[in-house]
């Protein structure tokens, strides 16, 4: 059994008619950094709150080290919790805030002083012990909240979107701090976010939620390189999609040909083997696309005619927006390509015909 086990968890509201979480079965290993990722209302925070004890499952059970914890109140679960709002006591100093959970556990005062000092050093706030929260920056306040969650050596640490109120640079800095603490302490961490890049930066595994169900549970690399379905492909990073019919599958069951309504054909790798529905979707990442100013100059095995809609400089790459010649009548489907400066064709201008291409091995039919 896993360190944490969700067994057929269901959580409903509004007289059992609205399911926030539906039939959740999930195991988390000891020492793992697990992230619950999904859009607003997908069930990720509800799942974390049930683990913390602030919400009760409608049905099913949660086990910690093989023992059911559904009947335990939050304060008996030995879990550190870090909230988005920091939840620091404004009238207490930094050291007093961190000492609070130790005092509630009747830890002797000499031990409290030593453990608070050690916790402050872990989050690099050793010189801020006597300050009040109002005298700290947002990033420093969040470090205090993290130290308070770690100071009593919890079995696991739960974090509910703890970095979402910070600016980009501060958020990235604290991501590195959290990675460092997890690596050094080895404590199990469960993290909730709606930010895909945050989940990819921090996690050993990511659990992608949507409408109360798990769409995919995998490593960040597998989520990006092998999305299980169209939702994950569209939610994790940027992806270009083309809808059509699978009309041919290779004998190896590894590749398939997809044909759109107007007869455009593309070849991609099959996400799973077996029979595919009449309408399937081909997905290709923007950085896997090549662009040429004239037909016939690309060496990729998939080529589609297009018109350049926009060309945007992004520092380390150019972002190209192209309208594909695949839609027949009506509004053209737009794709995005990310092209490094040394691969950008010379003399491109908005409105001109171009050709975009990609290799079958870099795309997925799902």
Q: What is the 3-state secondary structure (H, E, C) of the chain?
A: CCCEEEEEEEEEECCCCEEEEEEEEEEECCCCEEEEECCCCCCHHHHHHHHHCCCCCCEEEEEECCEECCCCCHHHCCEEEECCCCCCCCCCCHHHHHHHHHHHCCCCHHHHHHHHHHHHHHCCCHHHCCCCHHHCCHHHHHHHHHHHHHCCCCCEEEEECCCCCCCHHHHHHHHHHHHHHHHHHCCEEEEEECCHHHHHHHCCEEEEEECCEEEEEECHHHHHHCCCCHHHHHHCCCCEEEEEEEEEECCCCCEEEEECCCCCEEEEEECCCCCCCCCEEEEECHHHCEEECCCCCCCCCEEEEEEEEEEEECCCCEEEEEEECCCCCCCCCEEEEEECHHHCCCCCCCCCEEEEEECHHHEEEC
Closest CA to 290 of 340, 361, 349: 340
Indicate if the pLDDT at residue 159 is higher than 70.
Answer: yes
Q: What is the pLDDT of residue 329?
A: 52
In terms of pLDDT, which residue wins out, 167 or 311?
311
Q: Average the pLDDT over 298-311 and give the result.
A: 93
pLDDT band at 15 (very low <50, low <70, confident <90, very high): confident
Distance CA 126, CA 148 (A): 14
| pLDDT single digits (tens) 51-93 | 999 999 999 999 999 999 999 999 999 999 998 888 899 999 9
Measured CA to CA in angstroms, residue 331 lies from 286, 324, 328 at distances of: 21, 10, 8
Q: Average the pLDDT over 165-172 and give the result.
A: 87
- Least confident piece of the model among 223-232, 270-279, 329-338, 354-363: 270-279
Indicate if the pLDDT at residue 29 is higher than 80.
Answer: yes
CATH superfamily of domain region 4-225: P-loop containing nucleotide triphosphate hydrolases (3.40.50.300)
Strand pairing category for 67-68 and 59-64: antiparallel
Indicate if the pLDDT at residue 274 is higher than 70.
Answer: no
Q: Average the pLDDT over 121-146 and give the result.
A: 92
Average pLDDT of the chain is 91
Distance CA 325, CA 306 (A): 5
pLDDT band at 277 (very low <50, low <70, confident <90, very high): low
Q: Average the pLDDT over 240-264 and give the result.
A: 87
Distance CA 146, CA 119 (A): 9
Q: What is the pLDDT of residue 167?
A: 87
Q: At what angle do helices 94-104 and 109-122 cross, to 10 degrees?
A: 130
Indicate if the pLDDT at residue 276 is higher than 70.
Answer: no
Q: Are 325 and 304 in contact (CB under 8 A)?
A: yes
Domain ranges of the chain: 4-225, 239-366
Q: Average the pLDDT over 249-253 and give the result.
A: 81
Indicate if the pLDDT at residue 248 is higher than 70.
Answer: yes
Strand pairing category for 240-249 and 33-37: unpaired
Q: Are 4 and 64 in contact (CB under 8 A)?
A: yes
Longest CA–CA separation in the chain, Å: 77
In terms of pLDDT, which residue wins out, 282 or 274?
282
Distance CA 232, CA 230 (A): 6
CATH fold for the domain made of 239-366 = OB fold (Dihydrolipoamide Acetyltransferase, E2P) (2.40.50)
């Amino acid at each position: 059994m896993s360190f944490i086990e969700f067994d057929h968890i269901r959580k409903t509201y509004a007289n059992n008619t609205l399911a926030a979480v539906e039939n959740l079965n999930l195991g988390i290993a000891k020492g793992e950094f697990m992230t619950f990722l999904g859009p607003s209302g997908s069930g990720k925070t509800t799942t974390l709150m049930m683990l913390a004890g602030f919400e009760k499952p409608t049905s099913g059970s949660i086990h910690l080290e093989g023992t059911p914890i559904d009947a335990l109140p939050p304060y008996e679960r030995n879990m550190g919790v870090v909230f988005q709002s920091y939840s620091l006591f404004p009238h207490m100093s930094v050291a007093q805030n961190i000492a609070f959970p130790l005092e509630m556990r009747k830890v002797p005062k000499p031990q409290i002083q030593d453990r608070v000092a050690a916790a402050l050093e872990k989050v690099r706030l050793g010189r801020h012990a006597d300050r009040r929260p109002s005298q700290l920056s947002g990033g420093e306040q969040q470090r205090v909240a993290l130290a308070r969650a770690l100071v009593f050596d919890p079995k696991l640490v739960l974090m509910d979107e703890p970095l979402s109120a910070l600016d980009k640079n501060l958020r990235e800095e604290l991501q590195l701090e959290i990675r460092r603490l997890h690596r050094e302490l080895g404590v199990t961490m469960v993290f909730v976010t709606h930010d895909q890049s945050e989940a990819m930066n921090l996690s050993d595994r990511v659990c992608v939620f949507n409408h109360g169900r798990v769409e995919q549970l995998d490593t960040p690399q597998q989520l990006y390189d092998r999305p299980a379905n169209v939702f994950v492909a569209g939610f994790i990073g940027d992806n270009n999609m083309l809808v059509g019919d699978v009309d041919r599958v290779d004998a190896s069951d590894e590749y398939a040909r997809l044909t759109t309504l107007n007869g455009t054909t593309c070849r991609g790798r099959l996400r799973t083997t077996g029979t595919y529905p009449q309408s399937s979707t081909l997905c290709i990442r923007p950085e896997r696309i090549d662009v040429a100013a004239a037909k016939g100059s690309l060496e990729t095995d998939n080529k589609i005619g297009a018109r350049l809609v926009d060309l945007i400089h992004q520092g380390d790459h150019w972002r190209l927006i192209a309208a594909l010649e695949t839609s027949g009548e009506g509004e053209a489907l737009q794709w995005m390509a990310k092209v490094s400066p040394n691969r950008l064709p010379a003399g491109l201008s908005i409105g001109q015909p171009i050709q975009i291409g990609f290799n079958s091995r870099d795309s997925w039919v799902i």
